[in-house]
């Protein structure tokens, strides 16, 4: 028997874990942008991009632990609504704000990752040179865990000054790259949570709506590969060939991180519409049977 008091509990270990994982995922994804600078700086673009892909893959792997936390929150909300039908509106609203807190945690992770980009650049440069010496990516990564290297990394930690950030300009960057990054990041930030929200708003199609997160994230990943990745890689190649100054790559990375933060914030605006859209698509799919 579920007590009425349980319907008012907002914070839970599942919510805190989901927020923590989403912060970590966004932090790693933002830090991965620094591979662009490391590639242009070292001239080892291919190796730097491999490290970039490794970091992004690691963040996607973290989703395997993040999604079950969302599922636990959704199951609890659905269970309470089933036991107390009169609490449906309240529980849906509370679940929505739990999801918004999780998405906002991703924004915080993006901002922290952006502030620590100089440290990530240092790590990537070290990683590239370590890989060249050892010929093994695994050994290069293990080397980064050496206490002496960790101590060096911590010594490089600093927050960029406002005066440094003002030097970055968008005039030499494709605006479509920055807009595309904001849109793609926003879609990716909301894909998983919107499908779980749809499962609560439209419980009759819950099991059809939940897998939709993979479709949404797949579209975002493909869009990133078509819009953001090739253009940013081309700018890095130009810098490595001496056709662009390194400052252009630094400006690009800064604005990619900034637009990623803007994208995750803007995703809050489309949480409810995205959930309704996913739910309605799920209903159409069910009607086909």
pLDDT of residue 1: 44
Domain assignments of the chain as residue spans, ordered by start: 11-158+167-287
pLDDT value of position 2: 46
Residue 107: is its pLDDT beyond 90? yes
Above 80 in pLDDT, residue 258?
Answer: yes
Q: What is the pLDDT of residue 5?
A: 46
Question: Does 105 have pLDDT greater than 90?
Answer: yes
Q: What is the pLDDT of residue 289?
A: 59
Say whether pLDDT at 125 is over 90: no
Q: Write the pLDDT tens digit of every residue in 210-245.
A: 887 777 777 877 888 888 888 888 898 888 888 899
Distance of CA 227 to the CA centre of its chain: 17
Q: Which residue is associated with the tokens 């609890």?
A: 76
- What is the 3 state secondary structure string of 116-146? CHHHHHHHHHHHHHHHHHHCCHHHHHHHHCC
| pLDDT tens track for 197-206 | 998 888 888 8
pLDDT digits (tens, 9 = 90+) for 5-59: 444 577 888 899 999 999 988 998 898 888 888 888 877 777 777 777 777 777 7
Task: Return all residues near 10 (Cβ < 8 A) that are at least 6 apart.
Answer: 94, 97, 98
What is each CA distance from 92 to 87, 98, 107, 216, in whole angstroms? 8, 10, 23, 22
**pTM of this prediction exceeds 0.95:** no
């Amino acid at each position: 028997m579920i007590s009425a008091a349980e319907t008012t509990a907002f914070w839970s270990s599942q919510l805190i874990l989901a927020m923590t994982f989403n912060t970590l995922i966004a932090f790693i994804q933002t830090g991965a942008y620094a591979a662009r600078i490391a590639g242009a700086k070292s001239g080892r673009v291919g190796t730097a991009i491999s490290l970039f892909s490794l970091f992004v893959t690691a963040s996607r792997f973290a989703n395997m632990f993040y999604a079950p936390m969302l599922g636990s929150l959704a199951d609890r909300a659905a269970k309470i609504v089933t036991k107390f039908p009169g609490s449906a509106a309240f529980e849906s609203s509370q679940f929505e704000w739990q999801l918004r807190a999780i998405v906002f945690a991703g924004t915080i992770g993006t901002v922290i990752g952006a502030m620590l980009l100089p440290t990530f650049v240092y790590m990537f440069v070290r990683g590239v040179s370590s890989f060249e010496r050892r010929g093994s990516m695994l050994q290069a990564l293990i080397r980064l865990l050496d206490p002496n290297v960790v101590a060096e990394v911590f010594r490089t930690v600093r927050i960029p000054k406002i005066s440094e950030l003002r030097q970055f300009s968008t005039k030499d960057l494709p605006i479509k790259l920055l807009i595309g990054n904001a849109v793609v990041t926003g879609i990716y930030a909301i894909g998983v949570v919107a499908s779980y929200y749809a499962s609560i708003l439209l419980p009759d199609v819950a099991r059809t709506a939940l897998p939709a997160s993979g479709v949404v994230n797949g579209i975002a990943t493909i869009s990133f590969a078509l819009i953001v990745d090739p253009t940013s890689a081309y700018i890095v190649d130009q810098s490595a060939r001496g056709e662009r100054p390194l400052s252009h790559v630094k400006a690009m990375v800064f604005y990619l991180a900034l637009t990623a933060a803007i994208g995750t914030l803007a995703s809050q605006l489309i949480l409810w519409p995205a959930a309704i859209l996913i739910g309605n698509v799920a209903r159409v799919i069910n009607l086909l049977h």
